[in-house]
Structure 1
Amino acid sequence: MSSPYCCPNCKTNKSRFNIIKQVPQSVKMDPHSGVILEEYTSENLSPFHMGYRGPDYRVQCGACGLVEDERTFIKFGEKN
């Protein structure tokens, strides 16, 4: 978060953003009721459960509401 941002959608916002921290929760759910049957930690994932590999946070434009990966805002900020 030490690079300048610019929104690629509205193209004018360079200062108002929401940083959305993503906290993954690995669970096993009942397919019929949606009830959580089991919670996993990153150390005890079952062999058939892939751990979360996405970004730790995403960025939302405070002007138009676009939500994207931080790299998108940084790349557009470098161009402008």
Structure 2
Amino acid sequence: MSHPYTCPNCKTNKTRFNLIDQVAHAVKLDPSSGDVVQEYSSGQLDPFHIPYRGPERKVQCGTCGLIEDELVFIKQAEYLKTKQRNG
């Protein structure tokens, strides 16, 4: 479902955005070299590896460059719409 966005920083941009889809890759790194030692599939994490619980999408304002969770842009648009209705 799509929602209108408004940038919470510049408050004027309602049309130009970069949508950033986040795809997490669970890996185990070598502590000394930083090389990937093991890649985990989504259901095969070891007991000490917490699955990614962050947002699926981030949004960047195409005017001022602010990057935030998608919900922040949606809530700003809802706030301004309510504010306009109430005067």
Question: Scaled by the length of structure 1, what TM-score is found?
Answer: 0.96
Q: CA deviation at 1:6?
A: 0.3
Report percent identity of matched pairs: 61
Q: Which amino acid aligns with 1:50?
A: I
Report which of the two structures shows the higher radius of gyration computed on alpha carbons: 2
Q: Name the counterpart of 1:28.
A: 28
Question: Which 5+ residue runs of structure 2 have no aligned equivalent?
Answer: 81-87
Q: CA deviation at 1:67?
A: 0.5
Question: Which 5+ residue runs of structure 1 have no aligned equivalent?
Answer: none
- Distance in structure 2 (CA, Å) of the matches to 1:68 and 1:6: 12
Q: Name the counterpart of 2:67.
A: 67
Q: Name the counterpart of 1:19.
A: 19
What is the aligned-residue RMSD (CA, Å)?
Answer: 0.9
Q: Name the counterpart of 2:48.
A: 48
Question: Scaled by the length of structure 2, what TM-score is found?
Answer: 0.88
Equivalent position SS for 1:79: helix
- Report runs of 4+ in structure 1 exceeding 4 Å deviation: none
- Distance in structure 2 (CA, Å) of the matches to 1:52 and 1:78: 28
Q: Name the counterpart of 2:83.
A: none
Q: CA deviation at 1:42?
A: 1.0
Q: CA deviation at 1:76?
A: 0.5
The aligned length equals 80
Structure with the greater relative contact order (CA < 8 A, sep ≥ 6): 1 or 2?
Answer: 1
- Distance in structure 2 (CA, Å) of the matches to 1:2 and 1:23: 20
